[in-house]
Amino acid sequence: MISTQFRHSSSIIRPFINYTLHHPSNLFPITSSFLKSNKFSTTSHTRSDINVAPAPPGIPHYLTHADLSAKEIYNLLTLAIQHKYNVKYLNKSSGAPLAGKTLAVMFSKRSTRTRVATESAVAYLGGQPMFLGSQDIQLGVNESLLDTAKVVSSMVDGIMARVGSHSDIETLAKYSTVPVINALSAKYHPTQILADLMTLHEIYGPQPSSSSSYVAHQTHPSKTLPGLRVAWVGDGNNILHSMMATFPKLGVHLNVATPRGYEPDEEIVRYAQTEAGKTNTDLNFSFDPKDAIKNADVIVTDTWISMGQEEEKAQRIKDFAGYRVTSQMAKEGGAKSDWKFLHCLPRKQEEVSDEVFYSPRSFVFQEAENRKWTILAVIDALMVKKSFD
């Protein structure tokens, strides 16, 4: 839920309105100012002239879905769905495959869903979650991330980190001798998108005969997800970036509306364009929410004001005028009659009306619960199976 807001000249953004990104001619120009803005220069980074060897190759990490194939993403989804069925409906034990193992949960930012999901998932697998907040360790403050990665990874069996700059999670992974999981960075929030996809599979797949039964595990998500059309109405933030890195690979159409000045990262736009071209998937952009909503199966939004942006609240609320998701907006924009709503939470009143948020169209609490099962799947894949295959 962190914006990577780029406020450059409008000349960079002119091609942004209403185009389908699987046409190479629609690529954004990458200017020197854009490239400069993407160079990270915090004190937590290691100087390039320090000769320190990275960790040995072959250690699996989960940083962004841009690193994974469609098959690997589907594997995580099917694993998550199976875990949910095993635990909630069969009351099945995990067999404690992580007994005697520790996952360091290093969060530099507050968290509710991610922390609860992670700690309960590790406990189910028989391991020990070790929560390390910003007041507990020197994550890039009085100790470099390189040093932290080498020290912490020598004592634990996995690291799940919630950081600021995405380069921070990349540095941890580069020097860690154990798997690193991205719990959130300024650029990506991949575990959230897994939960979104799992929820969509449950919504659009075969339905159980009663609330006490579950059938999502009986159908592969590759049968339910391709062809869906998702409308994003909001900030060009890490949630949108993760959608863009994921949905085109799976054949999920994505329509995006952001206010001017809050567009997504151009590097991710280029990547998504390439993936959309491979799967013949639509990836459309507009500054008008009603354009994005047209023919949408699902409407998704997120917070307009992320942690660290509180001083920008008044300006952001002004800039996002007209972006509140309401039934009237969906009707005027031409969403499908049975459209659904998702939000990664926490939600604020200005983002979506109560009429939508608490309606039968809204699956936000099912989506929140699925954070546990998808995070469980990621931990299982990296720390138990040692692979996404």
Residues with active-site annotation: 344
Q: What is the DSSP letter of 307?
A: T
Q: For residues 266 and 303, what is the distance between their CA atoms, to the nearest angstrom?
A: 21
Q: Is the peptide bond before 346 cis (omega within 30 degrees of 0)?
A: yes
Of 199, 214, 204, 186, nearest to 342 by C-alpha is 199
Burial 264-288 (b: 16+ CB within 10 A, else e): bbbbbbebbbebbbebebbbbbbbe
Q: How many CB atoms lie within 10 A of CB 97?
A: 13
Question: How large is the C-alpha radius of gyration of the chain?
Answer: 20
Residues in the chain: 389
**Can you point out the beta strands (E) in 18-177?**
102-107, 128-133, 158-162
d(CA 201, CA 225): 6
Residue 45: CB atoms within 10 Å? 17
Structure tokens at 335: 């969403």
184 contacts: CB under 8 Å, gap ≥ 6: 1, 2, 109, 111, 114, 162, 163, 191, 192, 238
Place of tokens 């054949």: 251
Strand order in the sheet with 283-286: 283-286, 253-257, 229-233, 298-301, 340-343
Look-up: residue for tokens 């031409």?
334
Q: Rounded to an integer, what distance in angstroms lies between the CA atom of residue 58 and that of residue 178?
A: 10
What CA–CA distances, in Å, run from 161 to 106, 144, 153, 284?
5, 15, 12, 32
Kindly provide the residue ranges of all beta strands, DSSP E only, lying in 287-360, ordered along the sequence. Answer: 298-301, 340-343
